[in-house]
Structure 1
Amino acid sequence: MTQKVQSDFFTLIRERQSIRSYDPSVRIPAEELKEMLAEAALAPSSSNLQPWRFLVVDDPAVKEKLLPIANNQKQVVDSAATVILLGDTEAYKQADKIYDLAVEAGMPKEARDSYVPRMKEAYRSMPPEVARGVALVDGGLVAMQLMLVAKAHGYDTVPMGGFSAEKLIEEFKIPSNLVPVMLISIGKALNPGFPKARLPVEDVTYWNHL
């Protein structure tokens, strides 16, 4: 297992910043990227269908193709890798595989056999906009987990919503069931991010009614 930076959770969430200036000489081994993605994929998801799909861009030539799609944000080429995070609106098609693995892990087979057919039918009959919403929400969960995992490995990240989904789909031949969620660049900061402030929790929290 790759050596991680030792840091407690509360330090990680305070020190994580969105970094846009990366050291272009830094590379992340493919095995470590796979490890980080596996750790990120421990995130929760609707019915445990894990609709996230990761398209990792670390080849310099492919980075150059992604650059204009990402509005020429330089972190796309300077970071070690950019993860194109996609959400599968047909993730229910993996339900049998997922729940067979759950049975191997200790889930009662009777519970699996009772739940999976009903769940698959519910997702199969979802309106497209609802299925898309589920994929986006679950994508947000795994995205945040990936950024914290990367920080625990000693790397920096930045999430990006500023890109052309249409051009991304065209350039990378993304099938219609996969919804672009965001881009996440990962690498080592060349310069620190700007100091950021957060609203007091009292400004954003309500108790029992608005």
Structure 2
Amino acid sequence: MNTVNQVKDFSEVIHGRRAVKKYNPDYKISREEIIEILEEATLAPSAFNLQPWRFVVIESEKGKEELLEIAPFNSSQINTSSAVIAVFGDLTFVDRAEEIYTETAEHGYISLEMKDKMLATIVPLYNRYSIDEKRESVILDSGLVSMQLMLTAHARGFATNPMSGFNKEKIAVLLELDPERYVPVLIISIGKAASEARPSVRLPVSGITEWK
């Protein structure tokens, strides 16, 4: 793993992450490091470990130009970034259950008996879900992996910006995905910040938490 930009202090990762709108356009993050960032991001939790997230990395100038057509209000983030990562939820996520649980059993993390029991329980459960219930599930899990992606990027010295201001009805087709299968969640720009992002404030915990 490339540790050149690694930040070791987790407190700094949490407190130092900012949403950045302008990056150094001359800095290019390698595909190798983007893959490593995604690998660490996908350590995020998901319901029954079914990992419904899917990614498309837009790094070419042509790809960015096409993306701008459906995300015109995010031109600075898209144009100057090293890449933009589109995060989708896969509505057919349960189809990977056997692959995931079989590998889990092969590593000795669960028994074969447990694998069979999980498949017999979880697959029928999700097959009974409505489309809306599946959408809710994959959006939740994709949000978790997106946050972990941004924290991982910051820990490596990179900046990100999560964006929801894009045409969600067109992005799957634009990126040559099946719009009936893939639910768009976020697009996340990533790169080297051109300047320090301004700090932001958070509501006090005392004002948003109740104790029972």
Distance in 1 (alpha carbons) for counterparts of 2:182 and 2:120: 23
**Aligned match of 1:48:** 49
Q: Where in structure 1 are there 5+ consecutive unaligned residues? A: none
Report SS of the residue matched to 2:170.
helix
- Secondary structure of 2:189's aligned partner: strand
Q: 2:126 aligns with which of 119, 123, 128?
A: 123
Runs of 4+ in 1 over 3 A off after TM superposition: none
Partner of 1:156: 159
Map of 2:104 onto structure 1: 102
Partner residue in 2 for 1:83: 85
Per the alignment, residue 12 of structure 1 pairs with: 13
Cα distance, 1:60 vs structure 2: 1.1
**Of the candidates 183, 186, 201, which is equivalent to residue 187 of structure 2?**
183
Measure the CA separation in 1 of the matches of 2:209 and 2:95: 38
Q: Which amino acid aligns with 2:114?
A: A
Mapped pair 1:92 → 2:94 = yes
- Counterpart residue number, 1:58: 59
Counterpart-to-counterpart distance in 1, 2:106 and 2:44: 20
Q: Is the CA contact (8 Å cut-off) linking 2:53 and 2:141 kept in structure 1?
A: yes
- AA aligned to 2:150 is M
Which digits, 9 at most, give the CA deviation of each residue in 1:118-148, with x for residues without a partner? 2111111101101000000001100000000
**SS in structure 2 of the partner of residue 39 of structure 1:** helix
Specify the SS of the correspondent of 1:166: coil
Query: What's the counterpart of residue 202 of structure 2?
Result: 198
**Is 43-52 or 190-199 further displaced after alignment?**
190-199
Corresponding letter in the other structure for 1:132 = R
- Could you tell me which residue of structure 2 aligns to residue 23 of structure 1? 24
**Once the 2 structures are TM-superposed, how far is the Cα of residue 67 of structure 1 from its aligned partner?**
1.2
Distance 2:132 2:181 in 1: 12
SS at match of 2:118: helix
Q: Deviations over 1:163-193 (max 9, x none)?
A: 1111212322321111000001110111222
Letter of the 1:181 counterpart: V
Q: CA deviation at 1:153?
A: 1.0
The structure 2 residue matched to 1:135, chosen from 133, 138, 142, is: 138
TM-score, with structure 2 as normaliser: 0.95
- State the Cα deviation string for residues 2-45 of structure 1 (Å, max 9, x = none): 12423311111000000001111010110110011000000000
Cα distance, 1:199 vs. partner?
0.6
The unaligned stretches of length 5 or more in structure 2 are none
* 3-state SS of 1:13 partner: helix
- Matched to 2:154, the amino acid is K
1-structure distance, mates of 2:40, 2:6: 15
Secondary structure of 1:165's counterpart equals coil
Give the equivalent residue in structure 2 for 1:33: 34
